[in-house]
Amino acid sequence: MTPLLAVRGLTKRFGAGCGECLDRTGALRETNRCPRCGAILACREVSFDLYPGEVLGIVGESGSGKSTVVRLLHFDLEPTAGEYRLAVADAAAGGGGRNLFALSPFQRRRIRNEHMGIVYQNPRLGLRLKVSAGGNIAERLLMAGWRHVGRIRERASELLRQTEVPLARMDEPPRNFSGGMQQRVQIAKALSTRPAVLLLDEVTTGLDVSVQAKVLDLLRSLQRELGIATLVVSHDLGVIRLLTSRTIVMRHGEIIEQGLSDQILEDPQHPYTQLLVNSVL
């Protein structure tokens, strides 16, 4: 099977760097901060594949670099090094299997608008809280080239129905919504353009347990229905168990272990993964 998304050697350094940063940071050195020059290696030499229809988890504590990976893949940040290929994006970008990081900002924006959806932990990042829920979705559809107002409104109400947001509140700004409903509007917006890849960054963190359960159930049923290849970033092994079939474990910016999700949970190999699993059960 050909991967839908392939990442190789993804590295993000904050700071000038000194040439020894890579040797002096990482899981073995137990830090992501270079002791010589003070640069932060938020993620280093991260490589993985995401296959069509698959749900892949990235788990790790705060500072492990998992959210940095997602932001790099969504072009929210510039990478220091690395390659990033998306099987569907070739035609749009005008190049067969090209490294997306080498494309112009314009081409990248286009790929992001047409092929990617993202849901952030913080709704403030994914939504304009003062613009109506329907308007938030319309804005995204406009960016992806939709022009017909009637069709945009129709699609927005279809999505809000799918994500169980009461249609009566479509013209209300998400500022007035509960945390769980804001996440559902974000999910509706992310799905609006029928993206090839869905990026979920700690989407249930900070919600009440019962609201978390509802959001997770929604994601699971959308997953069954739509089969979108999804990257789930979470520090919560319960979320990983519920949503994913494969899992990557990150620590200090580095991948330390990867495997089938049930294997990671039942037979973790790396000392840190064992600590993580034993801390929950």
Partner 1 sequence: MSPDILLRVEDLAKRFVCHMQGGKEILGFEGVSFRLPAGAALALTGPSGAGKSSVLKCIYRSYLPGRGSIRYRTADGGDIDLARASETEVLRIRSREMGYVTQFLHALPRVPAVDVVAEPLTAAGTPPAEARMRAQALLERLGIDRALWDAYPATFSGGEKQRVNFARAVIRPPRLLLLDEPTASLDPRAMEVVVAVLSEMKARGTTMVAVFHEGSPLASLMDDGCALPAKEPQR
CB of 210 to partner 1, least distance (A): 10
Restricting to residues 18-57, which ones interact with partner 1 according to CB under 8 A? Answer: 51, 54
Q: Tell me how far apart the alpha carbons of residues 89 and 97 are, in angstroms, rounded to a whole number.
A: 8
Q: Is residue 106 exposed (0-12), middle (13-18) or buried (19+ Cβ within 10 Å)?
A: exposed
Q: Which of 30-38, 128-136, 146-154, 259-267 is the region at the interface with partner 1 (rule: CB under 8 A)?
A: 259-267
Q: Which tokens is 238 given?
A: 């319960």
Q: What size, in residues, is the chain?
A: 281
CA atoms within 13 A on the CB side of 24: 14
78 vs 266 by CB, closer to partner 1: 266
Nearer to partner 1, 3 or 17 (CB): 3
Q: Does 262 bind partner 1 (CB under 8 A)?
A: yes
Among 100, 263, 280, 281, binds partner 1 (CB under 8 A): 263
Query: Counting contacts by CB under 8 A, is residue 259 touching partner 1?
Result: yes
Q: How far is the CB of 12 from partner 1 (least distance, A)?
A: 26
For the residues of 32-73, what is the DSSP string, one character each?
A: SB-TTT--EEEEEEEEEEE-TT-EEEEE--TTSSHHHHHHHH
Between strands 81-86 and 5-14, the pairing is antiparallel
Residue 37 main-chain phi, psi, to 5 deg: -115, -10
- Please tell me whether residue 213 binds partner 1 under the rule CB under 8 A: yes
Asked whether position 267 contacts partner 1 by CB under 8 A, the answer is: yes
Question: CB of residue 268 vs partner 1: minimum separation in angstroms?
Answer: 9
For residue 274, the minimal CB distance to partner 1 (Å) is: 5
CB atoms within 10 A of CB 238: 15
**Segment 230 to 249, residues that bind partner 1, using CB under 8 A:** 242, 245-246
User: Among residues 20, 171, 208, 217, which is the contact residue for partner 1, using CB under 8 A?
Assistant: 217
Q: For residue 248, what is the enclosing H or E element?
A: strand 246-251
Interface positions with partner 1 (CB under 8 A): 1, 51, 54, 213, 217, 220, 224, 242, 245-246, 258-260, 262-263, 266-267, 269-271, 274-275, 278
